[in-house]
Amino acid sequence: MNTEDIIKEVNSIFIDVLDNDGIIVQYNTTSDDIEEWDSLNHIQLVVAIEKYFKIRFTAAEIVNFNNVGEMCEAIKVKTLAQ
Amino acid sequence: MLSFSQLKKNLKKEDAQLKNIKISILSENAGQLVTIALKGYGVEFGYNFEINECGYNELNLQVFEPESQLYSVQSDYIIIIPSVQKLLNQFYKKPIQERNVFATEHISYMEEIIHTISSKSNAKIILFNYLEINDGVFGNFSAKLDISFITQLRKINVAISELAQITKNLFINDIVSLQTQFGTAFIIDNKFYINSDIAFSLDFLPHLAKNTLDIIKSIEGKINKCLVLDLDNTLWGGIIGDDGVEGIQVGQLGIGKAFTELQQWFKQLKERGIILTICSKNTEAIAKEPFINHPEMVLKLDDIAVFIANWETKVDNIRHIQSILNIGFDSMVFIDDNPFERNLVKENIPQIHAPDLPEDPSDYLNFLRALNLFETASFTSEDSERTHLYQEDAKRQVFKKSFLNEGEYLAGLAMTSKIESFNKFNIPRVAQLTVRSNQFNLRTKRYSEVEIEQIANSKKHTCMSFTLSDKFGDHGLIAVVILEMKNPNDLFIDTWLMSCRVLKRGMESFVLNKIVSIAKELGCEKVIGEYIPTPKNEIVSNHYKDLGFKAIDDFWYLKVEDYRKRKTYIN
């Protein structure tokens, strides 16, 4: 799976977790761009993504991602390593 | 089990039917997610939890400052979630030579917290015990060493239980039992603990919320009272009609052991006060044979309050059991290995609990234990007598058939009732009845033991408990009346409840005679009653009307001077 495909899948996880059909995430999307994406929802997003891709993020990763794209790059590396 | 996301979505549901309950939460770790999970789970059971999240890691401030947020609302419940990680930090700050008294010191601090809250609030306190963390510093030797963290931690958890034993408004959320069931790795998501001081994983939160709800539901009177058990492949392996008494599997050998251990568990529940009943598609005589003749059967006929074995549908038979016991379907649990029977029962009696058993009988026991079907907020000696009481009832029904006339039957029962005010011997049972009685309960006011003690000592109140016994046995304490002098003329019936075991015995008339004689003694002109409808107390909607009270607005009035003593068969 390439980064674009992963972003698409992550988009549907955002829609589901944040309960908002209108959300569109792109490589450069950050939490500033999405109103519902606060620190509590971030936890739910991380757990939902971990479950979906069957991966684990580290404590450092989840605070250091600058945007959706970086998160998806990390997902790509982790899924490839499986 | 619902997921955290589902619980969170529940928060968006608007439902005016929900019962409001005020809860304050004191958490030493970050507690917002706990709040969401609790609120979401509350909606599932018809509660709207108004949650007052009191600071974060401010236990001292919130408890000991009189003006704190904790005391800013009148909470029904105060939930305290201490942090084992913080406890460990405190422990490490102590010099090694003082660590042997760490638990003793910490528990006196916790006692002070509980006593301070109790002196300032009427809330019930739900205290989480500490998750067990073994810091591994001494390996297994820790368990042999009094200065190790695990030894001191376990002492604290035992002391918390001991504190709850002597503190009536303190209930324990036994999170250690959940830890044994799920494991630490499931309960704590380390990265969220490290980043945000979040103590519980998203996957664990629904379980934690359920466990808390179980406690609250039992305090609010939603408890399960009765087990309806299938026989073939549920209580024993095999089919009694085909395999015969020698052929069924029960006992220490092979799969029989699974059924024996399950029966032992049911027997313990019966001795705690859960009513055991049998509902089986069988010929009655054949179905009863193992109970009489199989040497390894743990359950005997004596343990069973109602035994129904015939070829009618289980739905009809469960309705029949319900009518004999006179309890709500929502307090019954149906255990049957057959998914077809379970589904049929669930479709027709949606209120009943009918857990989907695992396929393998060896999994039944642990599966059922983990469901926590029989949470309770109290235990009294009368609970363990319950099966016996229902068996006596069955004899009364046979006796009744020998009379054509209701009056002759009641006279033949030779009933006597003892009236007492509240005292230290009956207060636990009185409080329990206010919590558990749903049907014959005019105002459904729930009282804790502490509150009942306060009422018993109040000059404004007159309190009465009634027992009833007859030639077949003793029902024990079956009616509670709390009268309040609203003013010198008016005696208000704050509480009038009776056990449904004694309906149609003239107890209402006997109690009213007593109420009116008290009103006379107090010089009151009127007795005032009120009926507050609930989904369950329809049975008493005409109670005051039938007893000759007159309705004005929402209240019922009885003039003391016009009252004519009602005929009863109770002495």
* A19/B191 Cβ within 8 A: no
Q: In chain B, which residue's Cα lies nearest the Cα of A40?
A: B33
Q: Per the structure block, which two tokens stand in for B15?
A: 């439902």
Q: In chain B, which residue's Cα lies nearest the Cα of A45?
A: B5
Please check whether residue B566 lies inside any domain of the structure: no
Q: In chain B, which residue's Cα lies nearest the Cα of A56?
A: B191
The domain containing residue B195 runs over which residues?
A: 4-219
Instruction: Say whether both B14 and B63 belong to one domain.
Output: yes
**Domain tally for chain B?**
3
How confident is the model over B341-386, as pLDDT tens digits? 999 999 999 999 999 999 999 999 999 999 999 999 888 777 777 7
Amino acid at B15: D
> Which residue, B175, B192, B219, sits at the end of a domain?
B219
Contact B108, B100 (CB under 8 A): no
Q: Which domains does chain A have, with CATH numbers?
A: 3-81 (1.10.1200.10)
pLDDT computed for residue B436 by the predictor:
87
Task: Calculate mean pLDDT across residues B528-544.
Answer: 93
Model confidence band, residue B28 (pLDDT cutoffs 50, 70, 90): very high
Instruction: Say whether both B269 and B358 belong to one domain.
Output: yes
How confident is the model over B465-513, as pLDDT tens digits? 999 999 888 888 999 999 999 999 999 999 999 987 788 889 999 999 9
Which of A39, A31, A77, A70 lies closest to A55, judged by CA? A77
Amino acid at B515: I
Q: CB-based contact (8 Å) between A62 and chain B? A: yes
Instruction: Say whether both B253 and B151 belong to one domain.
Output: no
Looking at chain A, the number of H-run helices and the number of E-run strands are 4, 0
Out of B33, B195, B201, closest to residue A62 by CB = B195
Instruction: Indicate the helix (H) or strand (E) that contains B201.
Output: none
Percent of chain B with pLDDT over 90: 83
Please check whether residue B503 lies inside any domain of the structure: yes
- Between CA B195 and CA A64 the distance in angstroms is 11
Burial of B12 from C-beta contacts in 10 A (0-12 / 13-18 / 19+): exposed
Instruction: Say whether both B272 and B389 belong to one domain.
Output: no
Contact B439, B479 (CB under 8 A): no
How confident is the model over B380-431, as pLDDT tens digits? 777 777 777 777 877 787 788 778 788 888 998 899 999 999 998 899 999 9
Instruction: Say whether both B276 and B179 belong to one domain.
Output: no
Strand pairing class (B550-552; B555-559): antiparallel
DSSP assignment letter at B237: B
* A44/B195 Cβ within 8 A: no
A18, A47, A50: best to mutate for the B interface, most B CBs within 10 A: A47
- Between CA B173 and CA B82 the distance in angstroms is 11
CA distance B12 to chain A (A): 11
Q: In chain B, which residue's Cα lies nearest the Cα of A39?
A: B196
CATH number at residue B274: 3.40.50.1000
Please check whether residue B567 lies inside any domain of the structure: no
Q: Give residue ranges of B with CB < 8 Å to any A CB.
A: 4-5, 8-9, 12, 32-33, 36, 189-192, 194-196, 198, 201-203
Out of A44, A58, A63, closest to residue B5 by CB = A44
Please check whether residue B565 lies inside any domain of the structure: no
pLDDT computed for residue B389 by the predictor:
79
pLDDT computed for residue B26 by the predictor:
96
User: Token pair 């009933």 is at which residue?
Assistant: B415
pLDDT at B16 over 80: no
pLDDT computed for residue B323 by the predictor:
86
Please check whether residue B379 lies inside any domain of the structure: no
β-bridge partners, B559: B526
- Between CA B466 and CA B476 the distance in angstroms is 8
Q: In chain A, which residue's Cα lies nearest the Cα of B36?
A: A40
Please check whether residue B376 lies inside any domain of the structure: no
Burial of B523 from C-beta contacts in 10 A (0-12 / 13-18 / 19+): exposed
Distances from the Cα of A51 to the Cα of A11, A61, A63, A70, B422, angstroms: 15, 16, 18, 18, 57
Please enumerate in sequence order all residues whose Cβ is within 8 A of that of B368, keeping only pairs 6 or more positions apart, or say none.
B262, B265, B335, B355, B357
Strand pairing class (B226-229; B332-335): parallel
Q: CB-based contact (8 Å) between A64 and chain B? A: no
First CA to last CA distance, chain A: 13
> Which residue, B154, B184, B219, sits at the end of a domain?
B219
Which of B552, B478, B480 lies closest to B515, judged by CA? B480
Instruction: Say whether both B388 and B529 belong to one domain.
Output: yes
CATH number at residue B163: 3.40.50.1110
What are the φ and ψ backbone dihedral angles of B543, each rounded to 5 degrees?
A: -55, -55
Please check whether residue B375 lies inside any domain of the structure: no
Instruction: Say whether both B98 and B158 belong to one domain.
Output: yes
* A43/B33 Cβ within 8 A: yes
Model confidence band, residue B2 (pLDDT cutoffs 50, 70, 90): very high
Sign, CA dihedral A78-A82-B4-B10, equals positive
pLDDT at A53 over 80: yes
pLDDT computed for residue B550 by the predictor:
95
Please check whether residue B564 lies inside any domain of the structure: no
> Which residue, B309, B337, B370, sits at the end of a domain?
B370
Instruction: Say whether both B308 and B396 belong to one domain.
Output: no
Q: CB-based contact (8 Å) between A47 and chain B? A: yes
Q: Per the structure block, which two tokens stand in for B218?
A: 């039992």
User: Token pair 């099966």 is at which residue?
Assistant: B387
* A16/B189 Cβ within 8 A: no
Instruction: Say whether both B283 and B390 belong to one domain.
Output: no
CATH number at residue B521: 3.40.630.30
Give Cα B77 distance to the centre of its chain.
16
Instruction: Say whether both B59 and B140 belong to one domain.
Output: yes
Instruction: Say whether both B533 and B410 belong to one domain.
Output: yes
pLDDT computed for residue A25 by the predictor:
94
Residue A19: list chain B partners with CB under 8 A.
Answer: 9, 12
